[in-house]
Amino acid sequence: MKLIIAYIRPEMLTPVKQSLYAKGVYGLSVTNILGSGQQKGFTETYRGVVMEVNLLKKVRLEVGVPEEKLEDALAAIQAGAKTGKEGDGIIFVQDIAKVVRVRTGEVK
């Protein structure tokens, strides 16, 4: 099995979920986070004071998939998250050594 960790724009969560569901991938965890990457943030003026915003709102997705669904899941995340602009996100793939279902004790 593989663990996909994807950091995407918050507004792209619904299209990514729909793409994953269309590929038959249903199990995922979602976390709201703050982070910085190549996008580096932006500046804004608040009450006459210029503020630099370095940490941007992102969503972290964690999806565990079997090897045979990995490429479909990666393609679904990319299709749902891509806007063509800087800050679309990044995807990491890790090996999962062992999976244990809590309810049944089943080991994969």
- Percent of the chain past pLDDT 90, that is, above it, reads 75
Tokens of 25: 């991938």
At residue 50, the pLDDT reads 77
With cut-offs at 50, 70 and 90, classify the pLDDT of residue 41. low
CATH class as words, domain 2-95: alpha beta
Domain locations in the chain as residue ranges: 2-95
Q: Is the pLDDT of residue 82 over 70?
A: yes
pLDDT tens across 47-66, in order? 888 777 778 899 999 999 99
Q: Express the helix, strand and coil content of the chain in percent, nearest 5 each.
A: 25, 40, 35
pTM score > 0.75 for this model?
A: yes
Q: What number is the average pLDDT over the span 72-91?
A: 94
